[in-house]
Amino acid sequence: MMADSLQPREEPRAAVTGGGTPPVIAPGHTFGTVTDKISSIVLTRRTPLWWYAGFGIVLMLSGLLLVSLTYLVFKGIGIWGNNVPVGWAFDITNFVWWIGIGHAGTLISAILLLLKQTWRTSINRFAEAMTLFAVASAGIFPLFHTGRPWLAYWLLPYPNTMNVWPQFRSPLVWDVFAVSTYATVSLLFWFVGLIPDLATLRDRSQSRVGRVIYGMLAMGWRGSARHWHRYETAYLLLAGLATPLVVSVHTVVSFDFAVGIVPGWHTTIFPPYFVAGAIYSGFAMVLTLAIPIRAAYALEDFITMRHLQNMAKVMLVTGLIVAYGYVTEAFIAWYSADKYESFMMLNRLFGPYKLAYWALLLCNVFIPQALWFKAVRTSVPALFVISLIVNVGMWLERFVIIVLSLHRDFLPSSWGNFAPTFWDWSTYLGTIGLFLTLLFLFLRFLPMISIFEMRTMLPEAKVEE
Amino acid sequence: MKLIAEHREVYGLMAEFEDPTSLVNATHKAYHEGYRRMDAYSPYPIEELHEALGSHHSRLPLIVLIGGLAGCIGGYLLQYWVSALAYPLNIGGKPLHSWPAFIPVTFECTILVAALSCVLGMLALNGLPQPYHPVFNVPRFALASRNRFFLCIESQDPKFDIEGTRRFLETLDPREVTTVAD
C-alpha cells in the first residue's frame, strides 16, 4: 500500500510539467504511445476527408499561381501595377512578408534549442517546414520580378563568356547570398532532424512502397550510440550556425532599403526592426497554423496550452519591439529636421494611403496589446484571431515601407500612385496556395512533430544511476 | 584469425532491453568484461550510452571549423578577385577593394560551407548512407526506432565466443538474446 503512493514515475513527470504551468506533454505517455500517435498520422491508409477537401482548394490556388506566372512570362511584368516611380510594390512586399514568416522556423529550432527551451520540441518540425515553404514562396517574387527568370543564374558569380561578374557592393547581391544560404541551411537542418523519424517510419510502415521510400530517405539510420553522439554534435553545431544566420538574413533584406537614400528607408533602425518584425510575423504564422492542425489531428497532448501561451508571449515582446521601431521612425522624422523625412511621416499619416498606415498600427500595435491579459493568452480562438490580424498587419507594414516611400520622394513632379492589378492579387494568392499545398503534403507524408525528440522529454527517458 | 573465420556467418549477439537504464548498465558491464567491438542502439540519443561504450570525442567540430574557415576565406577572396582584379568597376568613387561591403557575403559563405561540412561530415563519419547492415536481420530490431534498447557484441571482438558471450549477455537480465546473421 505504501509502495503505491511511492510510485517513482510521479516525480519525473512533475519535472516535465514544471509546477503550475500547463505541461509540455500531457501526462501518461510512453515511448510507444508517442511514436504511434505521431507516426499513425502519416502511416494511416485512411486519409481524412477534410484533407482531400483542403488540399483540393489550395491546389487550385497553386494553379492560379501557375497561370499568373505563365501569363507574366508571356506578357512581361507590365501586367503588375508597378511602374515609375513605384518600381517595387506587391512583389517586394510579398517577398519580405514571406521571408519574415520564414524566420520563426529557424528561430524555434535553433535559438530556442541553444536556450534549452524544451517546449520548442513539439512545434519545431512543422515550424521548420513552414520556413522552407515560406522561403520557396518568397523566392518566386524577386525571381519573376527580374522579368527574365530564365536568366536568374546571372546573379551568381560564375565564369562566363560575357566576362561579367556580380557587383558585390550591392545589397541586392548580398540578398541573393543571404536568402539562398538561408534556404540551404534550413533544408539541411530540417532534413537532419527528420533522419531518425524517417527510420521510425521505415520500421513501422505496412506497405512496401512506404518501406522503400522512407528507407532510402533514412539512409540506413539504426540508432547506434556512436551515431547518436555525432548526430547530436552536428545538430548543436547547426543550431549554432543557424542562429547568427537567421539574424543576418532579415538584416540583409533591410539593407535593400536602408542603403538607398529614399526617405523612410535610409535609417539605421531598419536591421533590428526588421528582424523583430520577422520573428513577430513568423510566430503569428506558426500560431495560425498550429491551432487548426492540433485540433484537426487531436494533438492537444503534444501541442499544449503551454506552447500557445509561450508563442503569444514571444509575439507580445517582438510586437513591442516593432512598435518601438514605429515610434523611432516618427521621432527621427521630426528630430532630424529633414523636410523629406517629416513629409514622409505626414504622408503616411494623412496621405492617399493613410488607411494602410492606420490599419497597420491597429493590427500590429493596438490589438496585440490584448495579449497582456492571461484570459486572452489562454483562449485558443482569441489567439487564432490575433495571429491572423498580426499576419495582415505585418503585410501592411511592408506595403507601407515600400510603396509609401517610393510614390512620393523628393520631387513632386515625379510623384505617382500605385494600384494593384488583378495579377498582383492573383500572384500573391497563388503563393499562399503554393505554401499551403506544400504544407498539406508535408502533414500527410512526414511526421509533423519530431518523434525522437518527444521521446527524450518523457519521464521514462531518464537513465537512473 | 581462427576466431574470425569461425564466426564469419555470425555478425554478433544482440541483447534486447526494455528501458534505457538496463541498456546503460549492461553496456558498462560489457565494457568492464573487456568487450570493445560492440554497439548500443536506442530510439533516442542517450548521453551515458556513448560514454559507456568508451568512445571518445568526435572529430566533427574540427571538420566544421575547417569548412567555416574555407568558406570565409574563399568567399572573401572571390569578392576581392572579382571586384578588384577581374572586373574592376568604379561604384560611387569607392575603392576597388572596398572591404566593408564584402562582409555580408563573406559571412554567408562561412555559414554555408560550415553547415554543409557539418551535415556531410556527420554522415560520412557515421558511414551513412548504408544500404545494408546485419543488425536489421533481427526482426525485433525494428523496435529500436520505437521503444526498445539493444546491445550488440560483434563477432569481430577478440573476446567474442558464441557460447561464452551468450552466457555473459544472459546474466545482464535482457528480454532475449538473439544471434545476428551476417
Partner-chain residue, chosen from A196, A224, A255, that has the shortest CB–CB distance to B39: A224
Residue B51 distance to chain A (closest CA, Å): 9
Residue-averaged pLDDT of chain A: 89
CA–CA gap between residue A240 and residue B111 (Å, rounded):
10
Residue B11 has phi, psi (to 5 degrees) of -80, -35
Partner-chain residue, chosen from A167, A174, A229, that has the shortest CB–CB distance to B91: A167
Q: Which residue of A has its CA nearest to B152?
A: A224
A chain contacts of residue B49, beta-carbon cutoff 8 Å: 225, 228
Neighbouring C-beta atoms of residue B74, cutoff 10 Å: 14
Q: Which residue of A has its CA nearest to B110?
A: A241
CB-CB under 8 Å, A230 with B58: yes
Residue A158 has phi, psi (to 5 degrees) of -150, 150
Residue A437's pLDDT is 96
CA–CA gap between residue B152 and residue A215 (Å, rounded):
22
A chain contacts of residue B40, beta-carbon cutoff 8 Å: 224-225
- Mean of pLDDT values over B29-46: 90
CA–CA gap between residue A183 and residue A143 (Å, rounded):
15
Q: Which residue of A has its CA nearest to B43?
A: A223
Helix (H) or strand (E) holding B66: helix B60-80
Residue A331's pLDDT is 94
Q: Which residue of A has its CA nearest to B22?
A: A463
CB-CB under 8 Å, B86 with A164: no
Domain ranges of chain A: 38-156+165-453
pLDDT digits (tens, 9 = 90+) for A154-172: 999 999 999 899 999 999 9
CA–CA gap between residue B145 and residue B169 (Å, rounded):
22
DSSP B82-139: IIIIIS---STT--SS-GGGGHHHHHHHHHHHHHHHHHHHHHHHHT-S-S--GGGGSG
CB-CB under 8 Å, B125 with A31: no
Amino acid at B146: R
Nearest Cα to Cα of residue B160 among B28, B40, B34: B34
Pick from A154, A169, A173, A243 the residue to mutate for testing the B interface (most B CBs within 10 Å): A169
Partner-chain residue, chosen from A165, A227, A244, that has the shortest CB–CB distance to B87: A165
On the question of pLDDT at A40 being above 60, the answer is yes
**pLDDT-based confidence at A90, cuts 50/70/90?**
very high
**Which 3 state secondary structure label does DSSP give A263?**
coil
Structural domains of chain B, ranges and CATH numbers in brackets = 2-56+131-181 (3.30.70), 60-126 (no CATH)
CA–CA gap between residue A256 and residue A250 (Å, rounded):
10
Residue A129's pLDDT is 93
**Which 3 state secondary structure label does DSSP give B178?**
strand
Q: Which residue of B has its CA nearest to A36?
A: B146
Neighbouring C-beta atoms of residue A445, cutoff 10 Å: 14
- Cβ pairs bridging A and B (under 8 Å): 199
- Mean of pLDDT values over A311-340: 93
Residue-averaged pLDDT of chain B: 89
The answer to whether B128 faces chain A, any CB pair under 8 Å, is yes
pLDDT digits (tens, 9 = 90+) for A348-370: 999 999 999 999 999 999 999 99
Residue A353's pLDDT is 95
CA–CA gap between residue A311 and residue A130 (Å, rounded):
15
A chain contacts of residue B52, beta-carbon cutoff 8 Å: 225
Q: Which residue of B has its CA nearest to A251?
A: B104
Q: Range with the lowest mean pLDDT among A61-75, A110-124, A357-371?
A: A110-124
CA–CA gap between residue A371 and residue B10 (Å, rounded):
63
Q: At what angle do helices A225-258 and B103-126 cross, to 10 degrees?
A: 170
CB-CB under 8 Å, B78 with A203: no
Residue B8's pLDDT is 60
CB-CB under 8 Å, B107 with A228: no
CB-CB under 8 Å, A200 with B145: yes
B chain contacts of residue A232, beta-carbon cutoff 8 Å: 45
Neighbouring C-beta atoms of residue B2, cutoff 10 Å: 6
Partner-chain residue, chosen from B78, B102, B129, that has the shortest CB–CB distance to A219: B129
CA–CA gap between residue B37 and residue B167 (Å, rounded):
17
Pick from B106, B126, B133 the residue to mutate for testing the A interface (most A CBs within 10 Å): B126
pLDDT digits (tens, 9 = 90+) for A415-448: 999 999 999 999 999 999 999 999 999 999 999 9
Query: Whole-angstrom distance between the N-terminal and C-terminal Cα of chain A?
Result: 26
CB-CB under 8 Å, A185 with B112: yes
- Provide the 8-state DSSP code for B15: E
